[in-house]
Structure 1
Amino acid sequence: MTSSRPLAVCSRRLPAPTEQALESLCTVIANPGDLPLPAATLAERCRQHGATVLVVTPTDRISADIIATLPDSLKLIATFSVGYEHIDVEAARARGITVTNTPGVLTDATADIALLLILGAARRASEGEREIRTDSWTGWRPTHLMGTHIGGRRLGILGMGRIGQAVAQRARAFGMEIHYHNRTQLSAEQEQGAIFHADADSLLRVSDVLSLHCPATPETTGFLNAQRLALLPDGAIVINTARGAIVNDTDLIAALRSGRIAAAGLDVFAGEPDIHPDYRELCNTFLLPHLGSATLQTRTAMGNSVIDSIQSILLNRLPSNAL
């Protein structure tokens, strides 16, 4: 198939405003069924149609082997996400293919979800909602579902980037004491009184609530394992809105079962949507299906970032969000 217009292959459905804007720029090879496609299928579509643009999501693993099969016509891989560990950026760069993400537009939405997880896990919200939905609530009583008050507790933030700082800002309103570990210490203005820990293990030792906001890298994969969970204070709460691979599921589940970790609030999982089944059986987990950026406003802004990068490529300009 040939077209006089630039052609874009999309791995999934996008918000309606994004799809409309994309169709105004390109001939679009869409995925109307919106089920995950093998990366090899996406590459085949790019070759078959002589695509200029490939729009992907975090569920699409665009490895060096896949990039080697992309056509010379392809100029851009635009991921509808801030994370880009699912793309071999160096392999793309070696082929002359630009890779872009959507930074800076999902900070507030993800920080809101992190706070929701903190409150939901601390206050045993899943257990309470289950009682309502199963009609098993027997009424108010003084000892019913007593949770943890987060005011005055120490919040440890692992990764103090945009989202980590936004979580800190929200947590301060609840009276939490902020501690953090980052590759570099923030300025005093950015810290706003937060306490810096040069060593991650030092942070864990004071984290009554630990919130993960670091990227998934070979160094952070499996970071939160049994040894590091043992460093947390007894009855700590673990929150993850970053990437599932950062947590060793087997070790966290064991700590939750033993009560060593009081609760976990998780929005991301290794292998999602095929998550470790034992999470579903635990009463002390507050679980969400990767909703961090899932607001209409945020997803539309992410789409606008994708469209901006495509427009730049079509004008032979380097997108401002190029990796």
Structure 2
Amino acid sequence: MKPNVYITRKLPLPVVEKIKEVCEVRMWDEEDIPVPKEVLEKEIENVDGLYCLLTESIDKELLSKANNLKVISNMAVGYNNIDVDAASGKGILVTNTPGVLTETTADLTFALMMAAGRRLVEASDYLKAGKWKTWSPMMLTGQDMYGATLGIIGLGRIGESVAKRAKGFDMDVLYYNRSRKKEAEEELGIHYRDLETLLKESDFVCVLTPYTPETENLIGKEQLALMKSSAVLVNTARGGIVNEGDLYHALKSGEIFAAGLDVFKEEPISLDHPLLTLPNVVVLPHIGSASKKTRMNMANLAADNLLQGVERKTPKHLVNKHVIEEGLSY
């Protein structure tokens, strides 16, 4: 008898067919609308595997309704949408999709740095609104990236890839991380700084650290006040790491020059959010990994994790490894 799985969003057909070879599949068939909570509560009752996205909150209450669940496969690197402790307590494996989106997200991070620093979206809107009447020496002037100082907060895979790109722009790269990475310092020619010093010295600051209780509101009023008035802040990690209210006031008052944001505390961000009223912020709908190749790789990796879990094999990308090590899984 095939194991039963539920997929919380419409996936490309080849990925679904791969899962169907092993499992009985039910799938929420709306591409752009998250599965309603009441539907997910019913579907999770008797499935062996759950394939989900960051848009689904897999909390303790939902997991209490799961009777046979063996694995939760999250199609994302982050997994703060899942109560991992609650899942572990029930012997449920939790998996993610690291590695495959590193270079794509690094590309987008660099694109946001350039777009915000050089005011590209503002300039495009300026032209489209018919405001461009003549060339002017200081019209829409922005910040140079070449030769500037880049501060990276969180030197994981993506942080290192951003640092490599920065070297092509002859940037001086600083980083702040939970622990120093001396091998990366030597290999990439980058320099460690404490957070306060990094914020003071950097022309561009990229937030690339995971979202945890320790990093929530890591960048707030005090940290923004340390930055240069010409500085650009970019966040392609997770919403909640940067305090959006404090960022709005820093941008509005000219305390910092600009910001580029791909992630927000609440997603999708409300259209009446104050940040969307500012000309010096470039906002994107969480598309850090949104290249066709990368998204297919993510979808397939999440499918592999799911299949390994329902077949009682150890998934390659297992978040809560202690469940296997301590013999807690079903």
Give yes or no for TM over 0.5. Answer: yes
**Greater CA deviation, 181-190 or 232-241?**
181-190
**Greater CA deviation, 268-277 or 113-122?**
268-277
Looking at structure 1, the residues matched to 134 and 43 of structure 2 have their Cα atoms a distance apart, in angstroms, of 58
**Greater CA deviation, 231-240 or 312-321?**
312-321
- Asked if the contact 1:9–1:55 (Cα under 8 Å) also holds between the matched residues in 2, the reply is yes
Partner of residue 212, structure 1? 207
Looking at structure 1, the residues matched to 20 and 240 of structure 2 have their Cα atoms a distance apart, in angstroms, of 35
Partner of residue 23, structure 2? 26
Q: Report 1:182-221 matches (<5 A).
A: 182-189=177-184, 191=186, 192-197=188-193, 199-221=194-216
Looking at structure 1, the residues matched to 109 and 13 of structure 2 have their Cα atoms a distance apart, in angstroms, of 27
- In the TM superposition, residue 189 of structure 1 has moved relative to its aligned partner by 4.5
Looking at structure 2, the residues matched to 141 and 235 of structure 1 have their Cα atoms a distance apart, in angstroms, of 21
Looking at structure 2, the residues matched to 63 and 148 of structure 1 have their Cα atoms a distance apart, in angstroms, of 43
Structure 1 alignment gaps of length 5 or more = none
Percent identity over paired residues: 38
Cα root mean square deviation, aligned: 1.5
Partner of residue 271, structure 1? 266
- Asked if the contact 1:40–1:66 (Cα under 8 Å) also holds between the matched residues in 2, the reply is no
Looking at structure 2, the residues matched to 225 and 16 of structure 1 have their Cα atoms a distance apart, in angstroms, of 43
Q: 2:222 aligns with which of 227, 252, 263?
A: 227
- Asked if the contact 1:204–1:232 (Cα under 8 Å) also holds between the matched residues in 2, the reply is yes
1:318 and 2:314 matched? yes
Deviations 1:179-205 (A, max 9, x none): 0011111133455211112x3222212
1:298 and 2:300 matched? no
Aligned with 1:261: secondary structure? coil
The 3 A distance-change label for structure 1 pair 190 and 102 is: farther
**Greater CA deviation, 60-69 or 261-270?**
60-69
Looking at structure 2, the residues matched to 15 and 140 of structure 1 have their Cα atoms a distance apart, in angstroms, of 48
Looking at structure 1, the residues matched to 247 and 199 of structure 2 have their Cα atoms a distance apart, in angstroms, of 14
- In the TM superposition, residue 313 of structure 1 has moved relative to its aligned partner by 2.0
- Asked if the contact 2:6–2:49 (Cα under 8 Å) also holds between the matched residues in 1, the reply is yes
Q: Report 1:1-323 matches (<5 A).
A: 4-34=1-31, 35-47=33-45, 50-71=46-67, 73-189=68-184, 191=186, 192-197=188-193, 199-275=194-270, 277-323=273-319
- In the TM superposition, residue 174 of structure 1 has moved relative to its aligned partner by 1.1
- In the TM superposition, residue 40 of structure 1 has moved relative to its aligned partner by 4.7
- Asked if the contact 2:54–2:75 (Cα under 8 Å) also holds between the matched residues in 1, the reply is yes
Looking at structure 1, the residues matched to 166 and 48 of structure 2 have their Cα atoms a distance apart, in angstroms, of 44
Looking at structure 1, the residues matched to 127 and 24 of structure 2 have their Cα atoms a distance apart, in angstroms, of 49
- Asked if the contact 1:224–1:246 (Cα under 8 Å) also holds between the matched residues in 2, the reply is yes
Amino acid paired to 2:276: R
Looking at structure 2, the residues matched to 18 and 161 of structure 1 have their Cα atoms a distance apart, in angstroms, of 28
TM (norm. structure 1) is 0.93
Structure 2 alignment gaps of length 5 or more = 320-330
Looking at structure 2, the residues matched to 27 and 190 of structure 1 have their Cα atoms a distance apart, in angstroms, of 49
Aligned with 2:21: secondary structure? helix
- Asked if the contact 2:184–2:190 (Cα under 8 Å) also holds between the matched residues in 1, the reply is no
